[in-house]
Structure 1
Amino acid sequence: MNIHCLVHLEFETLGNIREWACNNGYSISVTMPYVNSIYPQPDEFDLLIIMGGLMSVYQEDEHPWLIQEKEFVKGIIDSGKAVYGICFGAQMLSELLGGKVSRNEFREIGWHSIRSLDTFNEDEVLFSIPSELTVLQWHGDTFTLPDGARRLFESEACPEQGFIYGDNVLAVQFHPEADESCIDSLISECSSDLVEGKYIQSEKEITGRDDLLASSSALMSAILDWFEDGIKASTQE
């Protein structure tokens, strides 16, 4: 399986994504849309992952490269390939599928609890997860649920925490890719975000949580295993 990642941060390491790919012998390629506007052809990869970013999807005037990136992602969605959006990537998927992205009432930063929705659990288990889990959040925007999508998760600070569209497009507002290196980079590069706020934790609360790092890695593995199973099944049809 070949994975292509759209990376929007110079300090992005891919964290648990890279670890999973290495453990399974899969390749990863990267495009940084704000640096290079050359995108791969759809037949060059099996899974597209849209990573997080410090910009907002509605800031095309400030970041004109967003226009071409959105055109590329929309083409990949329309092609039926597997697409996975994380944080900023999830917001982009919502917009491209007809939803809207705006500022959330609260900024949500640190380790916060999310709940998987009852309707999701009753419908089918896409990947093995508990009904409530603690994940890393680092965002100020939110999105609306696109028509035809199913809500997967919610949190106290932000009701829209993830959705699935069809059987091949997944969006999550949180950061299951976050390993210790990712968190150290966020703390170093984005420390100005750590201000007083109802859902903003301190550096001390965010760092040194080996138990939560382990559950984050397990969640990312479960999600990527799900994509792997779906891609394998589609190639055998």
Structure 2
Amino acid sequence: MNIIVLQHIKIEDPGYIKDLMLADGFNLTTIELDEGEKIPSDLRKFDGMFCMGGPMDTFMEQEYPWLIEEKKAIKEFVVNLKKPYLGFCLGCQLLGEVIGGKVVKSNPAEIGIMDINFTKEKKEDILFSKFPDQIKSLQWHSYEVQGIDNNKDVTLLASSPITKYQIFKYQNHAYAIQFHIEIKDTTVNEWGCVPEYKKALESQLGEGALDKFDQAAKNNMPDMNNYSKILYENFKRLL
């Protein structure tokens, strides 16, 4: 399988799911957009697309002009080619914007290990039907997708008390996940080195919060890795 991975900062890759893909012999083409790498013009050769998180926001096209081409590529892949897509955090928000939604500031930001509650539509979904009705996962975002309530191609699959669109799908092939199910043991400490992430973390949870956050993530890591494995195995069925 040929998978294209759109990355916005080197330390935010598909994490545990990347390890599973490599173990299965998938061919990964990683495009590091923040380093000036270009998305291939012909996307038809790829079986699936992963779009990861990042410290920038979807509206920052002036500061990050490559966002313009990225949005065009996502639209081409998802809307025109109708190929499987999995977006995390920023990748979730980019899909939301591409299909006509808007990305707005969360009130408040969601940072920490928090509850995700699935809707009844989960029971019939190819990716999430085997998930429990509630899981805990890592949140680290200050913006969220809104404005897609009337889009008949969108199905809401999970929410949190703060963010309605924690998981949604477009038609039956493109999925957006606002939280980070893909993380590994090293993730929180690595992300804590990013100034934007550290600032958001400390403003939400107080100075010195990184160590507590890291420990909380490690305590929940076996479950999150298990959910990643279920997600990945089911995503393969779309490819």
Query: How high is the TM-score relative to the length of structure 2?
Result: 0.88
Change (3 A) 1:126 1:62: same
**CA distance in 2 between partners of 1:222 and 1:63 (Å):** 34
- 1:182: which partner in 2? 187
**CA distance in 2 between partners of 1:123 and 1:198 (Å):** 37
- 2:32: which partner in 1? 32
Match runs of 1:189-208 below 5 Å: 189=194, 190-197=197-204, 202-208=209-215
- 1:111: which partner in 2? 113
- 2:230: which partner in 1? 222
- 2:21: which partner in 1? 21
How much is the aligned-residue C-alpha RMSD, in angstroms?
2.1
Change (3 A) 1:76 1:181: same
- 2:221: which partner in 1? 213
Query: What secondary structure, in the 3-state scheme, does the structure 1 residue paired with 2:192 have?
Result: helix
Change (3 A) 1:211 1:197: closer
CA-CA distance at 1:139 after TM superposition? 0.3
The one-letter code of the counterpart of 1:19 is D
- 1:12: which partner in 2? 12
* 2:103 aligns with one of 79, 101, 107: 101
- 2:164: which partner in 1? 159
The percentage of counterpart residues that share the same residue type is: 26
Match runs of 1:34-113 below 5 Å: 34-40=34-40, 41-77=42-78, 78-113=80-115
- What number of residue pairs does the alignment pair up? 230
CA-CA distance at 1:201 after TM superposition? 9.8
Change (3 A) 1:198 1:207: closer
Query: What secondary structure, in the 3-state scheme, does the structure 1 residue paired with 2:204 have?
Result: coil
CA-CA distance at 1:161 after TM superposition? 0.3
CA-CA distance at 1:106 after TM superposition? 0.9
The one-letter code of the counterpart of 1:171 is A
The one-letter code of the counterpart of 1:228 is K
Change (3 A) 1:192 1:111: same
Structure 1 ranges of 4+ moved more than 3 A: 121-126, 196-201
Q: Please tell me whether the aligned partners of residues 37 and 65 of structure 1 are also in contact (alpha carbons under 8 angstroms).
A: no
Work out whether 1:173 is the aligned partner of 2:178.
Answer: yes
CA-CA distance at 1:197 after TM superposition? 3.2
The one-letter code of the counterpart of 1:103 is K
